[in-house]
A and B are shown apart, each in its own frame.
Chain A
Amino acid sequence: MPAPSGWVESTDENAPVPANSWRMPPRILSRVVFRFGLVIFLATSVCTFAAWKWAAVPPSEPYSEVEFNTDIRPLLAAKCFACHGPGVSQRKSELRLDTKEGLLGGAGKAGAVIPGKPDESELFRRISADSAGERMPPTGAGTQLSKSQRILVRRWIEQGAKWREHWAFCSIGRPTPPLVQIHPTLKNEIDCFILRSLDERGLKPSPEADPITLLRRLRFDLTGLPPSIEEVDAFVADHSDASYEKTVDRLLASPQFGERMATWWLDLVRYAESVGYNGDQPISVFPFRDYVIQSFNENKPFDQFTLEQLAGDLLPGGTAEQKIASGYNRLGMMTSEADVQRPEYLAKYIAERVRNLGGTWLGVTLGCCECHDHKYDPFRSKDFYSLEAFFADIQERGAYIDAASNGDWGPKLEFPTPAQQAERARLEREIAAARASLAKPVPNRVVQASGEKKGEGHDPSKAIQEILTLAPDMRTDTQRADLDEYVRSCSPSEPARRKLAELQCQLSDLRAHIPSTLVTVSVPPRTIRLLPRGNWQDDTGPVMVPAFPEALPHSRPHEGRLTRVDLARWVASRENPLTARVFANRVWKLFFGAGLARNLDDHGTQGDAPSHSELLDWLAGQFIDSGWNVKHVIKVIVMSGTYRQSSEPNDSLRERDPDNRWLARQGRFRLDAEMVRDNALSIAGLLVDKVGGPSVKPYQPSGFWAYLNFPTREWRTSAGHGRYRRSIYTHWQRQYLHPALLTFDAPTREECIAQRPRSNTPLQSLVLMNDPEFVEAAIVFAEHIIEHRVASTADRLDWAFRRALSRPPRVAEAAVLTALLDSQLAEYRRNLGAADEMLVVAGRAIPSGLEHAELASWASVSRAILNVHETITRY
């Protein structure tokens, strides 16, 4: 893999913004301080008093300016665009309310709005008309505007009806961080934006979180794992700014960072290890996962990361790594169902690729355009199929009929060990020799006879069956050759033939053991037509060639047919206003629990506008200008004072900003599914921190795969360390995802997932209490508690709490657990058999010298600790 790209090693001072040289506080702060003088000069007379009274000043909303992008366009989009929007096919009249001309007039035509004059504006007149015949939207075409919505429109017109392009489709600005007063929360530019908006709303930032919370937060956010007791002690002893930054750097450089980021990315690119449709057979793609982990760890520039996934197979002199990355195009669902129509599924596979491109990079819902022009955004069906055309060169089959038995899911890259390589060469050589010795044509008579052999142990594949239905003289040369081959394989009487069969068997055995991954192979592109209403049987639509969506800024890179390379270069380019914003917004969500624009999967007109659009632009600009430097953006975020705030909502904040839109505090949220388990394994000391490699199968309830078929399968729990790897390595079965992961909202990855729900359900409690994995973790945790602290119950509880929650127990907490311990001890000492029964769950040898009843009782205490809300929550 290439050298790291400027995160750790770069010393080039001319590099745009090498992340490791990013030192905002001395440089920027001095500017802020300098300008702060001006602020004071201006402010002393007018604002000082108000500044002291921040919290008491009511929000000035009733008189604030109505903002087109946040207040008006979403309203028009929801209520009017369906008939007066971008969709040609659905448009009900000439009038368009999604364009500046339509709204405000132009080219000699009057618009629906006359700035400053709501009562003379047709738009306002129609939305507030009394008569049903006049009123818009008409009955049956959606709900009417509410009174407050009508007032909003009225005020917008009164204020001059200023029109702005949709925020996400405008080019990304480079806003200057605003001037703000010195404040302890002010650590970098991010805080300038946040503090100003808090100030405008009369809100105050929360104080910095305590050092334990800060370290746990950094640990979970950057690595997905809890800190050790030693790490906590060291950080509590020194949590200066310098020590904080050192910790950030250390965690960003740890291999667990890549695993944490990959967990997120794999949801987007729908990484899974089964085909998803029908029989949901397994596929091998783990090298792709390793690629993603390694790319984040090396801080591969995001534009390169994008290019390699979309088009790694097309890069001149492409490396194996880039070919592995191109497996991205092969991660969609596939079928081996015999009943399907090949063209139908080819159409579905390629359409999913366009949806995924829209979901993963562009943050827009292109999927709508498979059947019709977008109702709300300026995307047309022809954009959809032009994008499909980029993927028309990917070699694939509509249905992989034989794959259920032979595992052939299309092009793959194999990674044999040297020994496997030598063995494969030998077998291939011997097979070739054996074949040559047997290469005599077979008379057709024999072939006909062999066709009758079905049901006598031979199982002619479908292809052979088809050939057999043809009269001998109707068969093509290829068919005859296939048949010859088949017949040879069916005549085991000759010793040479038996030898050949044996060699082939050995070869296929060997192949099954050679690690491999699906990759993209480019072939001459097939014809892509615009499918009217998405109907794959309708071939009346025009032939489409690769093109970028018309409504988004782009320039044509060359005159020839555009390729996936061109697509990738445009996706992560300065021209494209979406990708950097989408990325910045989603990364923000990883570190605050919610995006600046709340809707992570739709930056179109129906998605929420960002709460801090300038900050989002500033971050996106930083991302691009730093050379698409992922660690740089993340470091800027976690170094900010906004990030370091306490997440505790006080009563006034909960009332005034219940959704924490304005970030007067940090977010607080349940850990993601993978982290819930990894955290428990880590606390127990069971976690195996090996990075990369094939998937593993930790414990799963038996019979969970009972309804999989073709073939039926059983989950075989991995032996040894495989049971204790991080959850990102758990085999991802689309139709039956590991139930503990599913219960904690991990997605099945059948489609692109940008936003995992975060639920709180009784089934989650059942997993934490009763899943043998968590019980085992509790038992092993208990062994450590007893072994590490031979002293008093209080000392043991202290250690256990610090191990699990990084803090000592409060008095009342220790009392609860002591009481639990006592009641369990009484019960298990009365019933020693029960203690033994509990301890065998893990199938581990119980360390000698431990009293079983005591261990079982401490295991109950450990279970309690692993079940508390705080353990599975990131504060």
Chain B
Amino acid sequence: MNLPPVIGRRTFVLNAGLSLGAMALASCEQTRVISRPAVAAKAKRIIWLYMAGGISQFETFDYKPLLAKLDGQPMPESITKGQQLGQLQGQKLVVMGPQHEFRKWGDSGQSIGVILPEVASKCADEICIVRSIYTDAISHDRAHTFMNTGSTIAGRPAVGSWIWYGLGNEAEALPGFVVMVSTGRFGIKQPIAARQWHSGFLPGRFQGVEFRSGIDPVLYLKNPDGVSRKAQRDLVEAVQSLDRLESEQSTDPEIATRISQYEMAFRMQTSVPDLLDFTNEPQHILDLYGTWGSDGSFASNCLLARRLAERGVRFIQIYHRDWDHHAGVKEHIQGAASEVDRATAALMTDLKQRGMLDDSIVVFGSEFGRSPMAQGDGRDHHRTAFTMWFAGGGIKPGLSLGATDEFGYHAVENRVSVHDVHATLLHLMGLNHAQLSFTYQGAETRLTGVGPCRVINEMLV
């Protein structure tokens, strides 16, 4: 910036304070491209549908006829010997066949369970199903933390924080990383720790912001009772005026940042209610998702995700926390599936019809999978193979990738680690996982850790 020599820094701060809108964007939403993209970015945003608790791949995306044949028979010891199991450790291991039917869908003929009819019939040709993912942890807490932060040890930044940090945010007056949680009527409610969207050692402004259902969607967003919008505006202006007067006394740049943050906060107080107000959505869109308004349901959160994506939010994560089916897997997974199927397909359809699927990524999956062995009439946790699917910008549509052995126990073909998933998502966003780093405890720390990992080129266009 070329300033006439007589205008010193102090004057600049003062003047900048007077044009707050621009300042707010400049100071808090600065784009920070850490690495030159290895390839051009294929996508601008990610919407991650997270089935917390561990969706069973054997009823949804990984059909294993052998399991049906051996249903009720002992699991061969050769497969399970020395393996780390969850609650089944030390128990008699019995094969459990698929509890629901599978069919081939679409032109691609992808195999998907019938309990997800909408996703199967409308999206089979859009999605890339990866059946060979494995993870490090077999208990929920550590597995969630690994899926979200690339480490089982708490304190690392979440994927969304990394991406916001690496690319900045395009949304005006909205955070770059938004999280929503819905609770269904089936299964065991998974606890979800706020750690899953924490910015860890990255600066705090990259922390994911939870949008809650109800009257106070973002914490502390509502004006205090009895304070009108005008009164709040007067307050913000008074605070900013006082801060500007202080910045005449001091050259502390933090003051200018603070002034702009008040502007941003005030604007969020309008932009968020606008965002949550579905009245301008046509009835056929509400019907498509199966929601009537922002009520905290998975369907409403999916519609909200599209609205957030339209406004330029970088990373949107939606939890549905009812997938831990240790018992009654047949009935419970059908129930949980019925709560996500229509809205998931609707989100895909809606993004596509708006041309947004080309530069958005949709991720669908859990922290781990479920065991091919029965646990009573349920399934236990399983970490050595599970399924996720991906769709959108840069991803091959209608593709099945990777495979498990005939018992579905191990990923045997095109094995994909959680770090590989992270590296691939970063790659699609134009970030090189090896270069997106932050100095923490003396080391250049990355989302993908220190071990080897790779971009899954097979799933890329």
The distance in angstroms between the C-alpha atoms of A78 and B442, with both chains bound, is 10
A337 to B257, CA, bound (A): 44
Confirm or deny: B5 has a beta carbon within 8 angstroms of a beta carbon on chain A: no
Contacts of B266 in A (CB 8 A): 765
Say which residue of A735, A753, A819, A868 sits within 8 Å of B195 (CB atoms).
A735
Q: Report A-chain residues with C-beta under 8 Å of the C-beta of B138.
A: 339-341
Is B292 located at the chain interface by the 8 A CB criterion? no
> Is B28 among interface residues, defined by CB-CB distance under 8 A?
yes
Q: Contacts A772-B224, A868-B239 hold; do A367 and B212 have CB atoms under 8 A apart? A: no
B220 and A606: CB pair below 8 A? Answer: no
With A813-B242, A870-B246 as known contacts, state yes or no: A770 contacts B191, CB within 8 Å: no
Contact, CB under 8 Å: A735 / B193? yes
Of all chain A residues, the one with the shortest Cβ separation from B451 is A371
B108 interface hit (Cβ, 8 Å) = no
Neighbour of B245 across the interface among A367, A703, A813, CB < 8 A: A813
Tell me if B224 and A606 are in contact (CB < 8 A): no
Q: In the complex, A841 Cα to B226 Cα: how many Å? A: 9
With a cutoff of 8 Å between Cβ atoms, the chain B residues found around residue A817 in the complex are 238, 242
Q: A762-B264, A867-B239 are in contact. Are A736 and B246 (CB under 8 A)?
A: no
A279 vs B191: C-alpha distance in the bound complex, in angstroms?
6
Q: Verify B225–A860 contact, CB threshold 8 A.
A: no
CA gap between A410 and B230 in the complex, in Å:
55
A823 touches B234 (CB 8 A): yes
Q: Which of A496-504, A690-698, A704-712, A783-791 contacts B (4 or more CB under 8 A)?
A: A704-712
B255 at the interface (CB under 8 A from A): yes
**Nearest CB in chain A to that of B264: its residue:** A762
Please measure, in the bound complex, the distance between the C-alpha atom of A78 and the C-alpha atom of B89, giving whole angstroms: 43
Give the complex CA separation of A383 and B194 in angstroms.
Answer: 34
Q: A860, B235: Cβ atoms under 8 Å? A: yes
Residue of B nearest to A536 (CB): B84
> For residues 839 through 875 of chain A, which have their beta carbon under 8 Å from a beta carbon of chain B?
839-841, 856, 860, 863-864, 867-870, 873
Bound Cα distance A823, B346 (Å): 49
Q: Which of B223, B261, B442 has the most CB of A within 10 A?
A: B442
Assuming the A-B contacts A337-B139, A742-B194, A816-B238, are A838 and B251 also in contact, with contact meaning beta carbons closer than 8 angstroms in the complex? no
A866 to chain B, nearest CB (A): 9
List residues 86-105 of chain B with CB under 8 A from any CB of chain A.
Answer: 86-87, 89
A337-363: CB near B (< 8 Å → 1, else 0) gives 111110011001000000000000000
Chain A interface: which size bin?
A: 35 or more
- Answer yes or no: B141 CB below 8 A from chain A CBs: yes
User: Interface digits, A583-627 against B, CB 8 Å rule (1 contact, 0 not)?
Assistant: 000000000000000010110111100000000000000000000
Contact of A816 among B226, B241, B254, B257 (CB under 8 A): B241
> Across the interface, which residues of A come within 8 angstroms of B252, CB to CB?
649, 668, 873
Cβ of A112 within 8 Å of any chain B Cβ, yes or no, is: no
Q: Which residues of A contact B8 (CB under 8 A)?
A: 651
> Whole-angstrom distance from the CB of A103 to the nearest CB of chain B?
21
Task: Report B217 CB to chain A, min CB distance, Å.
Answer: 11
Chain A residues 793 to 843 lying within 8 A of chain B, measured CB to CB, are 810, 812-813, 816-817, 819-820, 823-824, 827, 831, 833-841
Query: Which residues of the other chain, A, contact B31 by a CB distance below 8 angstroms?
Result: none
Q: Assess whether A759 is in contact with B203, with CB atoms less than 8 Å apart.
A: yes
Chain B min CB distance to A122 (Å): 26
Among A767, A820, A827, the residue within 8 A (CB) of B220 is A767
Interface range for B: 35 or more
Q: Closest CB of chain B to A655's CB: distance in Å?
A: 10
The answer to whether the Cβ of A407 comes within 8 Å of any Cβ in the partner chain is no
**Contact (Cβ within 8 A) A537 B84:** yes
Cross-interface CB contact of A837 among B140, B225, B255, B441, cutoff 8 Å: B225
The contact of A709 among B9, B28, B190, B443, by CB within 8 Å, is B190
Chain A residues with Cβ below 8 Å from B223 are 770
Q: Does B352 contact A (CB under 8 A)?
A: no
Most buried by A among B230, B252, B381: B252
Tell me the minimal C-beta distance from A376 to chain B in angstroms. Answer: 7
Q: How far is the CA of A773 from the CA of B259 in the complex (A)?
A: 22
Complex: how many Å from CA A737 to CA B219?
Answer: 13
B139, B228, B243: the one contacting A335 at CB < 8 Å is B139
Highest count of chain A CB atoms <10 Å: which of B193, B251, B380:
B193
| B54: nearest chain-A partner, CB-CB | A339
The listed residue with most A CB atoms (<10 A of its CB), out of B84, B89, B235, B239, is: B239
Q: B91: nearest residue on chain A (CB-CB)?
A: A469
Tell yes or no: A555 within 8 A of B by CB.
no
In the assembled complex, how far is the CB of residue B319 from the closest CB belonging to chain A, in whole angstroms?
Answer: 8
Please indicate the chain A residues that have their CB under 8 angstroms from the CB of B212 in the complex: 703, 706
Judge whether A51 is part of the interface by a CB distance below 8 angstroms.
no
Choice from A277, A772, A816 contacting B141 with Cβ under 8 Å? A277
B258 near A869: Cβ-Cβ < 8 Å: yes
Instruction: Select which of B226, B243, B443 is within 8 A of A838 by beta carbon.
Output: B226
A273 at the interface (CB under 8 A from B): no
Among A34-42, A123-131, A432-440, A744-752, the stretch in contact with B: A744-752
A707 contact from B139, B141, B181, B236, Cβ within 8 A: B181
Chain B proximity mask over A500-539: 1 for CB below 8 Å, otherwise 0? 0000000000000000000000000000000000000100
CB distance A839 to B442 under 8 Å? no
- Look across to chain B and name the residue whose beta carbon is closest to the beta carbon of A865: B242
Considering only residues 754-781 of chain A, those with a C-beta below 8 Å from chain B are 757, 759-767, 769-772, 775
Tell me if A670 is interfacial: C-beta within 8 Å of chain B. Answer: yes
B-facing mask of A371-384, CB < 8 A → 1, else 0? 00000100000000
Shortest Cβ distance from residue A742 to the other chain B in the assembled complex, whole angstroms: 7
Given contacts A707-B181, A739-B219, A762-B28, are A670 and B254 in contact (CB under 8 A)? yes
Please state if A339 and B380 are interface contacts (CB–CB under 8 Å). yes
**Is the C-beta of A365 less than 8 angstroms from some C-beta in chain B?**
yes
Does any Cβ of B come within 8 Å of A685's Cβ?
A: no
Kindly identify, within residues 267 to 300 of chain A, every residue whose CB is under 8 Å from any CB belonging to chain B: 276-280
Contact between chains at A701 and B216 (CB < 8 Å): yes
**Which of B142, B204, B214 is the most central at the interface, judged by chain A CB atoms within 10 Å of its CB?**
B204
Question: Nearest B residue to A648 by beta-carbon distance?
Answer: B250
Q: Say whether A654 faces chain B, with CB atoms less than 8 Å apart.
A: yes
A824-B139 contact in complex given A648-B250, A751-B153, C-beta closer than 8 Å: no
Nearest-neighbor residue (CB-CB) of B234 within chain A = A823
Judged by a CB distance under 8 angstroms, whether B221 is at the interface is yes
Alpha-carbon gap, A770 to B268, bound state (A):
13
A461 to chain B, nearest CB (A): 15
Q: Is the CB of A759 within 8 A of B205?
A: yes
B209: interface (CB < 8 Å): yes
| Given A649-B252, A838-B226, A873-B252, 9 additional A-B pairs, CB 8 A | A651-B9, A654-B9, A740-B220, A742-B194, A760-B261, A827-B228, A839-B226, A860-B235, A864-B238
A–B complex contacts, Cβ < 8 Å, 29 sampled: A277-B139, A279-B191, A348-B142, A599-B442, A605-B442, A649-B252, A650-B251, A701-B220, A709-B191, A739-B220, A742-B194, A748-B154, A751-B155, A757-B201, A757-B204, A760-B258, A765-B264, A767-B220, A770-B221, A812-B245, A819-B238, A837-B225, A837-B226, A839-B226, A840-B225, A856-B226, A868-B242, A868-B246, A869-B246
When A and B form their complex, which 5 residue pairs have the shortest distance between CB atoms, in order from nearest? A838-B226, A606-B442, A759-B204, A837-B226, A602-B442
